[in-house]
């Protein structure tokens, strides 16, 4: 049986409202040792924001992280898959769209995230990317 994304996704992704200040999202990322948060508008997933988005789209642009919302800087052209989708489908999609993270959605709700690191660990656990991805975050 083919492996599904449910087998390798990071479950229970952190979500924040689109009105959340960038500064607060950054603190969540720091405190939880993660590099992304899913952005919601009510019950609907409307984007994803990464630590890189905060640097490039907020800090480097001179925006005040206390007064800029994640909704203003998040990637909103989301590509998602279900937890039952196959790993090969995720690999193809991430390659074609040059994605580093892929939100996993079930019944309209975020249930996980798959990263290129997750795929690297799954595909070749001896690779440098797999080693880096499996290591604990540096503080």
Select the more confidently predicted residue: 77 or 120: 77
**Could you tell me the pLDDT band of residue 2, with boundaries at 50, 70 and 90?**
low
- Which domains does the chain show, CATH number per domain? 5-134 (3.10.580.10)
pLDDT tens track for 18-50 = 999 999 999 999 999 999 999 999 988 999 999
How many beta carbons lie within 10 A of that of residue 137, not counting itself? 10
Minimal CA–CA distance to 37: which of 78, 83, 74?
Answer: 74
Q: In what order do the strands lie in the sheet with 44-50?
A: 15-17, 36-41, 44-50
- What pLDDT was estimated at residue 43? 83
Percent of the chain with pLDDT over 90: 69
Q: What is the mean pLDDT of the segment spanning 113-124?
A: 77
pLDDT value of residue 129: 40
- Checking if the pLDDT of 134 tops 90, the result is no
């Amino acid at each position: 049986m083919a492996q599904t994304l449910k087998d390798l996704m990071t479950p229970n992704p952190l979500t924040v409202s689109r009105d959340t200040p960038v500064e607060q999202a950054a603190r969540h990322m720091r405190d939880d040792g993660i590099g992304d948060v899913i952005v919601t508008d009510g019950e609907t997933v409307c984007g994803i924001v990464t630590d890189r988005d905060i640097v490039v789209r907020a800090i480097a642009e001179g925006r005040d992280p206390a007064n800029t919302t994640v909704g203003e800087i998040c990637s909103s052209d989301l590509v998602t898959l279900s937890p039952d989708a196959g790993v090969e489908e995720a690999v193809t999609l991430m390659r074609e769209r040059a994605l580093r993270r892929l939100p996993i959605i079930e019944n309209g709700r975020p249930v996980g995230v798959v990263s290129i690191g997750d795929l690297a660990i799954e595909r070749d656990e001896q690779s440098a990317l797999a080693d880096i991805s499996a290591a604990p975050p540096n503080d």
